[in-house]
Amino acid sequence: MSRAPLPPLHLLLALVVVAVWGTNFVVIKWGLADFPPLTFAALRFTFAVLPAVFFLRRPAVPWWNLAAYGVLIGVGQFGLLYIAMTHWISPGLASLVVQTQAFFTIGFAMLLAGERLRPFQVVALGLAALGLVWLMAHVSAEVTGLGLALVLVAALSWAGGNTVQRRAGPVNMLAYVVWASVFSAPPLIALALITEGWPAMSDAIANAGPGAWAAVLWQSLGNTIFGYTAWGWLLARHPAATISPLSLLVPVFGMGASAILLGEPLTSWKLVAAALVLSGLALNTLWPRFTRRLAPA
């Protein structure tokens, strides 16, 4: 695995991946104009499974692990995220708040693996918490209390999925996500039938235009198939400490795309909140790398 700086083409690929993941929040908003949220999520994971599941060997992990990851990511993360983004939080702010999964992941590591909270993590968590408090102080049509709560629970579910995936050990991440999606679609379909009803589901599917179906395919093929394949390819060739910090650009792309494509205003209070949350995320991600570089000196 190379420790040299990323070659330009590899850096470009990484930026394309984080751009796809960031702009995806705008695509979600477009898709929600035609599909009810749980129907939209169910379609996303159905197309993530089919036809890829017939071409990828199932990872050598227990079925319960795949099921837990599929439910946590499918229903917990994306199901709640889609619901929140229908009326209660803007795409740009959703892309920012959901990144707090990093701190929930730390919490799970402390609870389940006995890891200790390090001083830099306390500072990082404090910065991110200040950003969330600042958002709560500016509740409006762009971010409601319910929307913030739903996205935080979605981030908690994402962190739970991360914890489950770590228990699986080294796996082909694309195959893992595709096979886990087998357990995402059925509960989403069941919940959609219960809460949205078959008439609303069938009507949306029958009347969805090309743009709506493009949004579904962007979710399944762009985010899942392309995103995980390219990211895994990069991680196989470069240290995680080189690749992972680039994911900090996801909310940057998310907020930027929302401003450009949806006209979401980048107000001063929103920029302050983003600066605080991103500072916390950056400190948590980059500080260990910085201290390792200083160690030899």
Query: Contact at 8 Å (CB) between 182 and 53?
Result: yes
**Tens digits of residue pLDDT in 204-235:** 999 999 999 999 999 899 888 888 888 878 87
Q: What is the rounded average pLDDT of the residues 17-40? A: 95
Residue 258, pLDDT > 90, answer yes
Q: Residue 295 has what pLDDT? A: 61
**Tens digits of residue pLDDT in 153-183:** 999 999 899 889 888 888 888 899 999 999 9
Q: What is the rounded average pLDDT of the residues 174-198? A: 95
**Cα angle for residues 278, 164, 71 (degrees, 5° grid):** 90
**Tens digits of residue pLDDT in 124-138:** 889 988 988 898 888
Q: What is the rounded average pLDDT of the residues 62-89? A: 95
Q: What is the rounded average pLDDT of the residues 140-145? A: 83
3-state secondary structure of 143: strand
What's the rounded Cα separation, in Å, for the pair 273 and 93? 9
Q: What is the rounded average pLDDT of the residues 231-252? A: 80
Q: In this prediction, what percent of the chain has a pLDDT beyond 90? A: 55
Q: Which residue pairs from 9-14 have beta carbons closer than 8 angstroms and sit at least 24 positions apart in sequence?
A: 10/234, 10/237, 10/238, 13/230, 13/233, 13/234, 14/230, 14/231, 14/234, 14/243, 14/246
Residue 3, pLDDT > 60, answer no
**pTM for the whole structure:** 0.90
Which has more confidence, 212 or 245?
212
Q: What letter represents residue 108's amino acid?
A: F
3-state secondary structure of 241: helix
- Distances in whole angstroms, Cα of residue 181 to Cα of each of 102, 173, 185: 22, 12, 6
Q: What torsion, rounded to 10 degrees, do the Cα atoms 196, 202, 206, 211 define? A: 30
Q: Roughly how many angstroms between the first and final C-alpha of the chain, as a whole number?
A: 24
